[in-house]
């Protein structure tokens, strides 16, 4: 087994092209090193990408937020633009522990393909896309299409996530995130919900809702999205509580019964948080307009 | 095998390790610094926390090769008998230590936290050690120790 620390993206892609399935990409390493230690992967080459200069940027251009493929959670938490995306901030606050957030990356969360992945869930609600680079080309893919099954993604062994992008929420859009877990800090979520909704004239004019840990992968809930459109907050609560999201397809487990009972409540809470965020942002903007 | 060069507690060091060697094992075996504890070995408990370029890292889910060219500080690099840091002294004075196994990790995390956030609220101090497990469950006194260290560092700074 060889350890490589390429100094440019090109070099990294070249290594991935050469080793293909026999390469292991290590970013923050918070998942990958354990996979190695526990023998789940046996690569010929470890390709360490955390310091690649091409993967470090974070910012917003033409109202599109972009995050480089090696940006850590703690850098996201400290970013002034992202701090306005409430649901994402709540997601990061609940993700792992401060130490895990110093090393862990959003790209690693996506590429690992876990269903109980906090950041993948929130980014799905934010309608994020990833840019996948390989030697001699690149392509884009939307979340959650990249998730192919438990710990499986559509990312090819020769590819790297170089960038994650999502449209910055507008003034009348709010975002929310809810995580149900046994412990408040450093615990894997039992139910995850991300929400991004647009509120205009007292009704929800549309939005995106994502679920984690209640299906084989992180999913988008078109069912809930359909139920909430055109409704007031009170009507949304009623519509969501009426039935479990169709995309919550629970496998047999110790937590199944609990999840069945709790998932609608979690969706409701995420939508309430997103609603509150949208209304508050709208109110702040309204005040400025008056002044 | 790879040759890895880094700074360990202020001194330049090098070692030859397999690509999948874990930093916690290298620190303990190759360098004999056993203050860094290997608890769960899965990144959950925080006993193996060291500072890398000033940032707390779990050395049981960190490859030795990843440390190449970096600055690594273990509990031994903070202070020893007669020259304890304010954080180490505060852990003793607040009675935060029971069996002691989690304490090196707690102190590394608290040190990095107070460097960045010298005037924390108690809630922030609690959150700073939230990823470090203490099986003696002495969390209150550990948080007391972080707050005591903050207060003393604040006085020194004035
Ligand atoms: C104690 C602990 C607590 C945790 N808590 C949580 C939690 O609360 N919520 C949660 O969602 N996760 C949690 N995790 C899991 C983990 O921290 C996250 O999934 C993290 O986002 C992984 O990022 P990383 O940079 O460390 O990825 P790595 O471990 O470096 O990589 C993960 C996978 O992605 C691949 N990869 C990484 N970057 C790229 C890239 N740019 N392009 C292509 N492939 C790539 C790697 O090959 C590997 O397969 C926890 C882990 C630990 C150890």
Summarize pLDDT for A200-220 with one digit per residue, the tens.
999 999 999 999 999 999 999
Does the distance separating the beta carbons of B62 and A33 come in below 8 Å? yes
pLDDT tops 50 at residue A130: yes
Q: Please indicate whether residue A29, judged by its CB atom, sits closer than 6 Å to ligand 1.
A: yes
Q: Give the count of beta carbons closer than 10 Å to the beta carbon of residue B51.
A: 21
Q: pLDDT category, A30, cuts 50, 70, 90?
A: very high
Q: What per-residue string of b and e applies to A165-187 under the rule 16 or more CB within 10 Å gives b?
A: bbbbbeebbbbbbbbbbeeebbb
**Topology of domain A173-290, per CATH?**
Enolase-like; domain 1 (3.30.390)
Residue B49 shares a structural domain with residue B103:
no
Q: How many domains does chain B have?
A: 2
Q: pLDDT category, A290, cuts 50, 70, 90?
A: very low
How far apart are the C-alpha atoms of A276 and A280, rounded to whole Å? 6
- What is the pLDDT, as a whole number, of residue B155? 86
How far apart are the C-alpha atoms of A247 and A209, rounded to whole Å? 11
pLDDT tops 80 at residue A129: yes
Residue B137 shares a structural domain with residue B97:
yes
Q: Please indicate whether residue A112, judged by its CB atom, sits closer than 6 Å to ligand 1.
A: yes
Q: Which residues of B touch A33 (CB under 8 A)?
A: 22, 43, 61-63
Residue B73 shares a structural domain with residue B126:
no
Tokens of B138: 């002495």
Q: Residue B18: which of A1, A96, A186 has the nearest Cβ?
A: A1
Please give the average per-residue pLDDT across A22-48, as a whole number.
97
% pLDDT > 90, chain A? 95
Q: Is B3 helix (H, G, I), strand (E, B) or coil?
A: strand
Query: What SS3 string covers A191-224?
Result: EEEEEEEEEECCEEEEEEEEEECCCCCCEECHHH
Q: Relative to the CA of A103, which ligand 1 atom is closest?
A: 26
Q: What is the CATH number of the domain that holds B93?
A: 1.10.150.120
Q: Is B113 in CB contact (< 8 Å) with chain A?
A: yes
Q: Please indicate whether residue A207, judged by its CB atom, sits closer than 6 Å to ligand 1.
A: no
Does the distance separating the beta carbons of B43 and A34 come in below 8 Å? yes
Q: How far is the CA of A76 from the centre of ligand 1 (A)?
A: 15
Q: pLDDT category, A287, cuts 50, 70, 90?
A: low
Number of CB pairs < 8 Å for A and B?
Answer: 80
Q: pLDDT category, B158, cuts 50, 70, 90?
A: low
Q: Mean of the per-residue pLDDT values for chain B?
A: 96
Sign of the C-alpha dihedral, residues A67, A73, A78, A83?
positive
Q: pLDDT category, A150, cuts 50, 70, 90?
A: very high
- What is the pLDDT, as a whole number, of residue B60? 98
Q: Please indicate whether residue A206, judged by its CB atom, sits closer than 6 Å to ligand 1.
A: no
- What is the pLDDT, as a whole number, of residue A79? 97
Q: What is the CATH number of the domain that holds B32?
A: 3.10.20.30
- What is the pLDDT, as a whole number, of residue A291? 45
**Domain edge (last residue) among B78, B101, B123:** B78
pLDDT tops 80 at residue A164: yes
Q: What range defines the domain where residue B111 resides? A: 86-156
Please give the average per-residue pLDDT across B143-149, as a whole number.
98
Polymer length of chain A: 291
pLDDT tops 90 at residue B138: no
The pTM for the full model equals 0.96
Please give the average per-residue pLDDT across B121-131, as a whole number.
96
pLDDT tops 60 at residue A288: no
Please give the average per-residue pLDDT across A156-160, as a whole number.
98
Q: For tokens 């809470």, what's the residue?
A: A269
């Amino acid at each position: 087994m060889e350890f490589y620390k390429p100094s440019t993206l090109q070099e990294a892609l070249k290594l991935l092209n050469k080793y293909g399935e026999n390469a292991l990409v290590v970013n923050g390493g918070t998942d990958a090193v354990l996979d190695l230690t526990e023998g789940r992967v046996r690569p010929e080459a470890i390709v360490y990408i955390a310091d690649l200069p091409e993967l470090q940027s974070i910012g917003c251009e033409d109202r599109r937020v972009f995050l480089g493929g090696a940006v850590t959670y703690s850098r996201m938490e400290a970013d002034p633009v992202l701090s306005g995306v409430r649901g994402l901030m709540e997601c990061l606050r609940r993700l792992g522990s401060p130490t895990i957030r110093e090393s862990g990356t959003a790209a690693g969360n996506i590429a690992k393909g876990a269903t109980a992945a906090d950041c993948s869930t929130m980014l799905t609600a934010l309608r994020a896309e990833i840019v996948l680079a390989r030697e001699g080309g690149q392509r884009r893919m939307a979340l959650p299409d990249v998730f192919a099954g438990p710990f499986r993604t559509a990312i090819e062994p020769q590819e790297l996530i170089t960038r994650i992008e999502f449209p910055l929420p507008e003034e009348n859009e709010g975002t929310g995130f809810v995580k149900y877990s046994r412990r408040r800090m450093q615990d894997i979520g039992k139910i995850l919900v991300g929400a991004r909704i647009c509120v205009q004239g007292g009704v929800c004019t549309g939005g995106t809702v994502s679920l984690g840990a209640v299906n084989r992968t992180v999913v988008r809930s078109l069912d809930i999205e359909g139920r909430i459109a055109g409704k007031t907050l009170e009507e949304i609560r009623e519509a969501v509580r009426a039935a479990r999201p169709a995309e919550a397809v629970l496998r047999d487990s110790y937590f199944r019964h609990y999840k069945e009972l709790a998932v609608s409540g979690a969706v409701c809470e995420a939508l309430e948080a997103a609603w509150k965020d949208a209304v508050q942002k709208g109110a702040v903007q309204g005040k400025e307009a008056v002044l | 095998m790879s040759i890895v060069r880094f700074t360990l507690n202020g001194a330049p060091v090098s070692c030859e390790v397999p690509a999948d060697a874990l930093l916690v094992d290298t620190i303990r075996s190759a360098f004999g610094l056993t203050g860094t504890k290997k608890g769960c070995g899965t990144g959950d408990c925080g006993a193996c926390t060291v500072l890398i370029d000033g940032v707390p890292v779990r050395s049981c889910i960190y490859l030795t090769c990843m440390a190449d060219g970096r600055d690594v500080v273990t509990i031994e690099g903070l202070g020893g008998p007669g020259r304890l840091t304010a954080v180490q002294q505060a852990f003793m004075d607040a009675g935060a230590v029971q069996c002691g196994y989690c304490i090196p990790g707690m102190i590394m995390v608290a040190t990095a936290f107070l460097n960045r956030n010298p005037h924390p609220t108690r809630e922030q101090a609690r959150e700073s050690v939230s990823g470090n497990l203490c099986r003696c469950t002495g969390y209150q006194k550990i948080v007391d120790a972080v707050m005591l260290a903050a207060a003393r560092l604040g006085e020194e700074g004035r």
